[in-house]
Amino acid sequence: MSRRTIRRSLGVFLLLIAAGLYLTTPDRVAPETIPDHTPDLANGERMFWAGGCASCHAAPGAKGEAKLILTGGVELKTPFGVFRVPNISPAKEAGIGDWSRNDFINAMLRGTSPEGLHYYPAFPYASYQRMRVEDVIDLKGFLDTLPASDNAVADHDLAFPFSFRSGLGFWKLLYLDGKPFTPPAGADETVALGAYLAEAPGHCAECHTPRSLLGGLKHDRWMAGAPDPEGGDGRVPNITPSSDGIGSWSAADIAYFLESGFTPDFDSVGGSMTAVQENWQNLSASDREAVAAYLKSLPALPKQP
């Protein structure tokens, strides 16, 4: 191979790298598109419980009022390595007390840190991207009212190449489109609300839908159950209205389960769903009924082996 050919090949290679880095630069919401919205703290608390913030960001095993201290530190052990959930309390050093409104919006809707780095999708921004900006502003307003914690959380412990954050830009090109929530076709007002709560702040699909080899959700298997996201032997259940899922449950059964933790056959909630149910009992009956109506409206899909 001649020197000229080598130089040309190297030049093409460097151009491809530059193009890849440009295309995968962390994205931000345009500041001029962010509304001048006064936070509604009551709605912010509603988003807090719907989003399950306490389930991951409170200290492990926290109960009662301690759930409102978002100290971080929970470890998520996955096939990619260990993700450590950050402190999102209003502490200025250890938490997000110094974040601006725009910083928070970009984290939630674009998976981009205030420093301009990609967040790992263990933080479910692929679902949060569907949230209304006003709801995100309300959530930030509520978080700012919670107790501060100075707990410093260690960084993630990931193997190469997963430790290389720049590569996350390629993942975002595939799975982060930045589009707002769209109600299901033909959905009435109740189902549309339930779909929004379940798909956007509630991010139910992040656990209940299986993923591709690259970690994206398989939309043709929406809510049909998935392997344990932490790599264990268990499975997250199918919550479509099929015989393999919750087809025998009425909408009233689902809403009551979210309120009380009891199934139609008088069993009680267990495992990681316990924390989810404890969050949903803090929402209104109409919100729980909307989610129930949405789940009953889904296509009935059989579970996969």
Which residues does 246 contact at the CB level (< 8 Å), separation at least 6?
Answer: 237, 238, 239, 240, 253, 254, 295
Work out the average pLDDT over 177-184. Answer: 92
Q: Is the peptide bond before 161 cis (omega within 30 degrees of 0)?
A: yes
CB contact at 8 A, 296 and 253: no
Q: Tell me: the pLDDT tens digits for 93-127?
A: 999 999 999 999 999 999 999 999 999 988 999 99
Work out the average pLDDT over 260-289. Answer: 91
**What is the three-class DSSP state of 89?**
coil
Least confident of 18-22, 46-50, 260-264: 18-22
CB contact at 8 A, 29 and 106: yes
pLDDT at 12: 44
**What is the three-class DSSP state of 77?**
strand
Q: Is the pLDDT of residue 13 over 50?
A: no
Angle at CA 136, nearest 5°, toward 88 and 64? 50
In the block, which residue shows the tokens 């095993």?
Answer: 61
Which residues does 201 contact at the CB level (< 8 Å), separation at least 6?
Answer: 47, 50, 51, 127, 128, 131, 135, 139
pLDDT at 166: 76
pLDDT confidence tier of residue 18, bands split at 50, 70 and 90: very low
**Type of residue numbered 122:** A
CB contact at 8 A, 139 and 48: yes
Q: Is the pLDDT of residue 8 over 80?
A: no
Q: From the centroid of its chain, how far is CA 120? A: 11
The whole-angstrom separation of Cα 265 and Cα 288 is 19
Least confident of 2-16, 81-95, 116-130: 2-16
Average pLDDT, the chain: 88
Token representation of residue 209: 């839908």
Phi, psi of 222 (to 5 degrees): -60, 120
Q: Tell me: the pLDDT tens digits for 58-77?
A: 988 888 888 999 999 888 88
Q: Tell me: the pLDDT tens digits for 183-233?
A: 999 999 999 999 999 999 999 999 999 998 888 899 999 999 998 766 566
**Type of residue numbered 187:** A
pLDDT confidence tier of residue 138, bands split at 50, 70 and 90: very high
Q: Is the pLDDT of residue 260 over 90?
A: yes
pTM above 0.85, yes or no: yes
Question: Smallest Cα–Cα separation from 151: which of 44, 70, 54?
Answer: 70
Q: Of the segments 42-46, 112-116, 172-176, which one has the largest average pLDDT value?
A: 42-46
